[in-house]
Structure 1
Amino acid sequence: MPNTTLVLRHVYFEDLGCFADVLERADYTARYSDAGDPDFGRGDPLEPDLLVVLGGPIGAYEDHLYPFLAQEREFIRARLAADLPTLGICLGAQLIAAALGEKVFAIGLKEIGFSRLSLTDTGTASPIRHLADTPVLHWHGDTYGLPIGAVNLASSALVEQQAFSLGSNVLGLQFHPEASLDERFERWLVGHAIELTVAGIDLSALRREAQEFGPRLRVAAMQMFEDWLTNLEPRT
């Protein structure tokens, strides 16, 4: 039987991207649950073999605007308490931190664009090492406190917390290694048009960077994700 993956998705175009190919090769089936679906953040959080929590243009602390966030955090918290494989990307990483009692907060700027990570000593010995020499896509305005027991794996020039692990089964990534940087990247630019305009982002430059770094990042990101999947601790 294939392993099961539940994917919590907040906006339609921020999907598994290149990670979908890795999951398929590793014999995982993926099922999306979208914000607004009746079952979003509900059901048995211990049932899937893997939980992936994707990004989105909202704050992990905005329960007053998006009430589903409270239920989603509880769903994630139950997974973490059982030490079951859980991956969070951008908002997903922030929700993991929030589920563990840490503060998620605005950094006062938008980190949008491509830049290299600075890996910690632990990061260089982790699956993140595959990204050491490749500019990655950053797209956020919030960050998080490092959860108790977690280890910081990477930082950027603007934000200290870019990735963390909690044992072998929990990984939080503030950046977007999964993003499809081919023609599908245009969906991101249209979907986040207001944010990009307000932040004063040069779309032409962002497109050029996506074309320049996309192929190399796709290979490195898939190696990273495959490495992490391979080293998950089996369910007991």
Structure 2
Amino acid sequence: MTERRSVVAIRHVAFEDLGLIAGLLDPDAFDVAYCEAATDDLSHRSIRAADLVIVLGGPIGVGDARLYGFLSEEIALIESRLTRGKPTLGICLGAQLMAAALGERVHAGRVKEIGWGSVSLTPDGMRSALAPLGGFDAQVLHWHGDTFDLPRSARRLAFNANYDNQAFALGRNALALQFHLEADARQLEEWYVGHTVELTAAGIDINRLREASRTNSAQAQHLARAVFGEWLAGLFPEEMMRGAGEHARSA
């Protein structure tokens, strides 16, 4: 039996999980495990040496390290992986932690972005796995109030009217997304409950957000498969091909 690649997802709250990414990681090709950031040992070799680490979102920020000491450990882990060129994907808080690990400032943004909207791609973004987001009707889920300065060694991939830095890449092995391309609209009911205080404080109409999520559900699944599928195929071509072959034979 061919050895599977190890994938560790660092999770900050239970309901912000791999979402649509999970379906791309065929169990015949990938061994997927969750690491709970607040309670697990972030220095463990199984995380440091994993073939891929995915740092997920959460309701805290990089500036909260004084209250949540594990954030400093998380930044050190990410810095170690990026320095060694180990494949790393950061989403929302994960992207901010990647920027911090690269020595850049993470700070409060001009506005809080919560809801579905577009991003614009830079020329580098158009040549990257994010290219499908360049379609005129492509929508992603924004859910953040903080942002980051672009790391000097990184390539800016996406922006919008509110934030100059919505995505960046470091080489071919590291990708940071400020937005939630992984969000499964069917599971967002858990987000609405878990983030109800934030949503209320921001004046977000949950019913309108729920309806927008339903409207964008099919497109979100397509975009997630296209973007993450392309990025993963660049890292693990044999494993992604193996998974695709297994799906084709079982169809």
Question: TM-score, normalised to structure 1's length?
Answer: 0.95
Partners of 1:11 and 1:199 lie apart in 2 by: 20
Partners of 1:202 and 1:160 lie apart in 2 by: 26
Deviation at 1:100, TM superposition (A): 0.7
> Is residue 197 from structure 1 mapped to residue 173 from structure 2 by the alignment?
no
- Name the residue aligned to 2:231: 228
- Name the residue aligned to 1:180: 184
Partners of 2:168 and 2:83 lie apart in 1 by: 17
- Name the residue aligned to 1:109: 111
- The one-letter amino acid paired with 2:44 is G
Percent identity over paired residues: 46
Cα-Cα RMSD: 1.4
Partners of 1:4 and 1:92 lie apart in 2 by: 19
Partners of 1:141 and 1:26 lie apart in 2 by: 38
Of 160-169 and 24-33, the range deviating more from structure 2: 24-33
Preserved contact between residue 13 and residue 58 of structure 2 (Cα < 8 Å): yes
Preserved contact between residue 110 and residue 162 of structure 2 (Cα < 8 Å): no
Q: Please say which structure displays the higher CA radius of gyration.
A: 2
Question: TM-score, normalised to structure 2's length?
Answer: 0.89
> Is residue 142 from structure 1 mapped to residue 146 from structure 2 by the alignment?
yes
- The one-letter amino acid paired with 1:145 is D
Q: Deviations over 1:44-85 (max 9, x none)?
A: 254100000000011112111111101111011110010010
Instruction: Name structure 1 gaps, 5 residues minimum.
Output: none
Preserved contact between residue 107 and residue 146 of structure 2 (Cα < 8 Å): yes
Q: Deviations over 1:84-142 (max 9, x none)?
A: 10000000000000011001000142100011111111101101012222110000000
3-state SS of 2:185 partner: coil
Partners of 2:189 and 2:127 lie apart in 1 by: 34
More helix by share: 2
> Is residue 157 from structure 1 mapped to residue 161 from structure 2 by the alignment?
yes
Partners of 1:158 and 1:122 lie apart in 2 by: 20
- The one-letter amino acid paired with 2:173 is N
Preserved contact between residue 93 and residue 178 of structure 2 (Cα < 8 Å): yes
3-state SS of 1:24 partner: coil
Deviation at 1:37, TM superposition (A): 2.1
Partners of 1:35 and 1:121 lie apart in 2 by: 35
Aligned residues: 232
Preserved contact between residue 131 and residue 217 of structure 1 (Cα < 8 Å): no
3-state SS of 1:165 partner: strand
Give every structure 1 segment of 4 or more consecutive aligned residues whose post-TM-superposition deviation is greater than 6 Å.
Answer: none
Preserved contact between residue 163 and residue 174 of structure 1 (Cα < 8 Å): yes
Instruction: Name structure 2 gaps, 5 residues minimum.
Output: 238-251
